[in-house]
Amino acid sequence: MANRPLPKLDAVNRDFWTGGEQGELRIYHCGDCGTWVHPPRPVCRNCLSENVAPEAVPGTATVDTFTINHQPFMRDMEVPFVIARVALDGAPGVFLTTNIVNCPVEDVNIGDKVKVTFLQEEDVWLPLFEKIGEDA
């Protein structure tokens, strides 16, 4: 899937998009109340504390839902592929939109256990996920 739109890096999102260089999936975490804050912001959405900072999470997740995209919405888009929303382990309440890769699209299901694998594109490390287990 060449030609992906890439995020514009800034002060707040840089850790999320570059943590993959060190093999880390980094999510903002509130040091006061423990809330995981995503999308990353310099304030906690639960207690309004400014004591928030990126922290590495385990990188495993569960497929919450997904779709198989068949339509080439952009030039050079190779289809079909899976777009999924995954619930991150270790960061309650945080979901990521991602792709489930390295398996046939029809093998993906809600409830599948997945783990992160990073795809570098320019200065960005995209967190993609691959299956490590079936729906329990």
In the complex with Zn ion, which residue's Cβ is closer, 32 or 135?
32
H/E stretch holding 115 reads strand 113-121
x-or-dash pattern for another protein, window 48-67, by CB under 8 A?
----------------xxxx
Nearest to 44 by CA among 28, 57, 55, 56: 28
Q: Which of 16, 19, 20, 35 binds Zn ion (CB under 5 A)?
A: 35
Q: Which of 7, 23, 58, 92 binds another protein (CB under 8 A)?
A: 7
Question: Judged by CB under 8 A, does residue 116 bind another protein?
Answer: no
Binding partner of residue 67 among another protein, Zn ion, none, CB under 5 to 8 Å per kind?
Answer: another protein
Half-sphere exposure of 83 (CA within 13 A, CB side): 9
Nearest to 97 by CA among 61, 58, 134, 45: 61
In the complex with Zn ion, which residue's Cβ is closer, 38 or 115?
38
- Token pair, residue 132, equals 């490590």
Is-contact 66 84, C-beta < 8 A?
Answer: yes
H/E stretch holding 16 reads helix 14-18
> Which residues contact another protein (rule: CB under 8 A)?
1, 4-8, 10, 13, 38-39, 64-71, 73-74, 77, 80-81, 83-85, 94-99, 110, 121, 124, 126, 128
